[in-house]
Amino acid sequence: MKLLGKVGIVSAMTGISRVFGLVREMLMAHFFGTSTLQSAFVIAFRIPNLFRRLFGEGALGAAFIPVFAEIERTEGKAAAQRFFARILGLLLCLLGFLVGLGILASYGIEEYCGEASRWSEAMPLMRIMLPYAVLICIVAIVSAVLNVRDRFAVASLTPVVLNIVWILALVGVCPFLPDTGYWRIGAVCWGILLAGIIQIFFQVPELRKVGFRLQFIFSGWASSPHIRKVLLQMGPASLGIALAQINICIDGWLAFYGASWAPSALEYADRIIYLPLGLFGTAFATVLLPTYSRQVANQDYTDMVKTLEHALKTLAVVMAPMVFGLMFLAMPIVEVIYRRGAFTEHSVICTARAVMAYAPGLIVFSAAKTVIPIFYAFKDLKTPVRVASWCILGNFSLNVCSVLFLPEAWRHVGIAVSTCLNSLLNTAILLFILWRRGIGVRLQEPFITLLKAGAAAMMMGAAAYWCWSALSERLVSWIALPLAIIVGGVLYFPLIYLFAPHTVKQILSEFALRKRRGKKS
């Protein structure tokens, strides 16, 4: 009963972040469009994100949370503080060394490619943003501590800091700089670096409230069994996440090879997709790992399966209207959000195609975020790695085929579709492995719920598109589109209640119960 309440907190905070992120992307579209320089920025920014996924909220976070929770429960808060400080010290030294190597390597790549190469344009930007990898990984580990203590709000709100500083750089600095060369995009990169520092200090007060300090210990790594345990557990996960993130980087490079504007179009589409995914899919994943970890520690495997099944059904009801809404209204959504300044009609068409290709993936992306934490809760980080490794090979093959054989205007669409298929295959294999291990996840009810929600959402999407078509002839797009979305949303509620009344009643009853408990407390 507490699950949806926690998810609601994370969703609300993440929603605020995503809205600011969307504003940020609107401004990026205005200043840079789908230019080669914007694509170079996208490619460069993926390197710090690779480190974040490896050493922050990804592999290290997945290995850190169960061990930290266990230490605090069995050895007390003082031991947990020492472990936390040693992890931060180790992280700072390791990432500082890797960032230094990356900066040196960027000079070699730039000299090898030559000044005329589009690849060389990304290297100066990468040199500025690489230190952000150290800062954001520290932020991610602090967030993990807060999540273990059920303090989800501040940790989920921290990305807003990045978006606000980014927006301030765009509106407060870029207009006063020359619109040629690296001046404006360089200001954005320095703003990102500054945001990383502010994000750390933003979390410190909440960290103190739960009884922990931001401290770095640079000794005792080898003698600590807990550090060794985390490193051994994160090793396989690091490999898997490294493969996944390297695959994302390669996808970007393949898209850059296919067309100079393609990485930008995929990035703008990705931001639209990540608004609903962050609101619900990522929120569920954030809450489920600590929940699963406690259930595994107490050997409540039946409750764990019920938690997963309920999460899948809830996600089906919530995500289905977003899938069909984005598919039916992709073009007007992209036009209203991005069409201004340097963002041309060609940019609108290419980005809208990517949105339609990504949209069905919302279901499988969210499902993957609910299934993978089960393996992490069992401290099994190897299985997701093996599965992801094989799926990545298939994804890479499809992406190469897309770049080589599809028309230039559709190559990025092929990359988006292969990403969705890769996630679907990955999730299906993981569920099959759970079934083989005796964790019988009954998929019949979630699948039936998905079909019912899909039928209701398809009718909603068609009605919203018809409404937009009728209103756009009489009203400007930025008024016609919200009205069409409102009509679709209002129509979806009676439709989903008609198709899946039991699931809807269950979701509503949980929120009602939480509200009553909140009033009593």
pLDDT, tens only, 225-278: 888 888 777 766 566 666 666 666 677 778 888 888 888 898 899 888 887 876
Helix (H, G, I), strand (E, B) or coil at 114: coil
Q: What is the pLDDT of residue 521?
A: 45
Q: What is the pLDDT of residue 270?
A: 86
CA nearest 216: which of 97, 85, 68, 93?
85
Q: Name the residue with higher pLDDT: 247 or 104.
A: 104
Q: Give the N- to C-terminal CA distance of the chain in Å, as an integer.
A: 16
Burial tier of 444 (Cβ tally within 10 Å: 0-12, 13-18, 19+): exposed
CA nearest 353: which of 273, 254, 269?
269
Q: Name the residue with higher pLDDT: 419 or 52.
A: 419
CB 334 within 8 A of CB 348: yes
Confidence of residue 287 (pLDDT cuts 50, 70, 90): low
Query: For residue 178, what is the DSSP state?
Result: -
- State how far the Cα of 399 lies from the Cα of 396, in Å rounded to an integer: 5
Indicate the pTM of the whole model: 0.73
Mean pLDDT of 359-384: 86
76 pLDDT higher than 90: no
Mean pLDDT of 459-472: 94
203 pLDDT higher than 50: yes
Mean pLDDT of 31-36: 86
> Can you read off the two tokens belonging to residue 93?
């030294």
CB 217 within 8 A of CB 86: yes
Q: Choose the weakest-confidence range: 195-199, 298-302, 331-335, 413-417.
A: 298-302
Q: What is the pLDDT of residue 392?
A: 80
CA nearest 325: which of 129, 484, 211?
484
Burial tier of 402 (Cβ tally within 10 Å: 0-12, 13-18, 19+): buried
> Can you read off the two tokens belonging to residue 366?
């969210």
CA nearest 373: which of 278, 313, 284, 289?
289
CA nearest 399: which of 271, 242, 246?
246
| Beta-carbon-side half-sphere exposure of residue 173 (alpha carbons within 13 Å) | 16
